[in-house]
Amino acid sequence: MQPDDRMLAQDHVEATTRVLLRQLMRRFGELPPELVHRIRIATQAELDLWNDRSQRAPSLEEVFGQTFPGVA
């Protein structure tokens, strides 16, 4: 992968991260810091999966397949 391609890929990951965080906060309220950190270090594939799940999941547990401290 060329440097320009890496920069574009990283930009895409960052944009996807911002969109996911915004969608989750609007839908579920304030997110626990542990979850925000997990999202920020996620791969593009993970972000895509969570974005898809977040459209229909009734809870954060359903989106991520696990519980996080501070999530009711």
Whether 53 contacts 59, CB under 8 Å? no
User: What does DSSP assign to residue 31?
Assistant: P
Q: What is the pLDDT of residues 48-60, one digit of tens each?
A: 999 999 999 999 9
CB neighbour burial string for 27-47, b if at least 16 within 10 angstroms, e if fewer: ebeebeeebeebbeebeeebb
Q: What is the pLDDT of residues 12-61, one digit of tens each?
A: 799 999 999 999 999 999 999 999 999 999 999 999 999 999 999 999 99
